[in-house]
Amino acid sequence: MPSALVLIADGTEEMEFTITYDTLVRAGVVVQSAFVPESGGGSETPVSPPAAKGSRGIRILPDLYFETANSGPDKFDAIIIPGGAKGAETLSSSSEVQVLVREYIEKKKLVGMICAGSLAALTSGLPKQPLTSHPSVKSTLESEFDYSEDPVVVSGNLVTSRGPGTAFPFALKLVELLCGPEKRKEVHAPMVFPAGTPW
C-alpha cells in the first residue's frame, strides 16, 4: 500500500491540506499528517502535536509531530507541502523540511507542492525545472524555474500545483502516480464532479 506524509503548520490552507489528504485516503494510500512548528521542527522529543490553525481558522489535529526520524523517504512514498502564505513560509523555511525534500527527490519518491508550498522547491535548492505555484509567489519563482501556468505540473517526481481551485486535479494526479490510472478513475466517480469539469 503506498503511503504519504502531508505536512501542516499554523496558517496552512486547510482546503489544500484536506482535499489532498482525503483524496489519497480514498485511493487506499496510508496518509499521515505531521505538524511543523514555526521553529522548523525535525529534532524535538516526540510530543503530541497541537492543533494547527488553518489560514481561514479551521483547527486540525495533525497525526504526528514532525521529526526527521519519522518523516523520511524510508517511511513514506510521497511528501506533500500545502500552501497558505504563513504555513508555506514555516514549511519552506524549515531546514529539516528542505533536507527531506532533497532526500525524497534523490530516492525517487514523490514530492508534491501546491500554492505557496512551491516556495519549498526554491528554498530546498532544487534545480531549474518546470514548476507552477499560486500567482502570488510567481515573481519569486519564475526566474529560478521554468514557470508554467498549467493547473498541475509534473517534472520527474516533483508535482506542483496552483491553489485551492487546483487541489482536486493535484490530488488526483498524486493518486494516479502512486496507485495508477484505474484507481484515479475509481476515486473520481463517487466525488460527483459536475459535467464538464476539466479533470
Catalytic site residues? Answer: 16, 115, 134
With CB under 8 A as the contact rule, the residue among 39, 47, 56, 146 that binds its own copies is: 56
Would you say 105 or 178 has its CB closer to its own copies?
Answer: 178
Residue 14 near its own copies by CB under 8 A: yes
In degrees, rounded to 5, the angle at the alpha carbon of residue 28 between the alpha carbons of residues 174 and 42 is: 65
Q: How many CA atoms lie within 13 A of 76 on its CB side?
A: 28
Specify the residue, 33 or 124, whose C-beta has the smaller distance to its own copies: 33
What element of type H or E holds 145?
none
Closest to 175 (Cα-Cα) out of 159, 196, 162: 159
Among 4, 5, 19, 178, binds its own copies (CB under 8 A): 19
Stretch that binds its own copies, among 90-98, 123-131, 178-186, 188-196 (CB under 8 A): 188-196
Alpha-carbon gap, residue 49 to 34, rounded angstroms: 8
- 84 and 115 Cβ atoms separated by less than 8 Å: yes
Is 59 a binder of its own copies (CB under 8 A)?
yes
Instruction: Name beta bridge partners: 34.
Output: 7, 64
Site of interaction with its own copies (CB under 8 A): 13-15, 18-19, 21-23, 25-26, 31, 33, 51, 54-61, 134-136, 151, 162-166, 168-169, 190-199
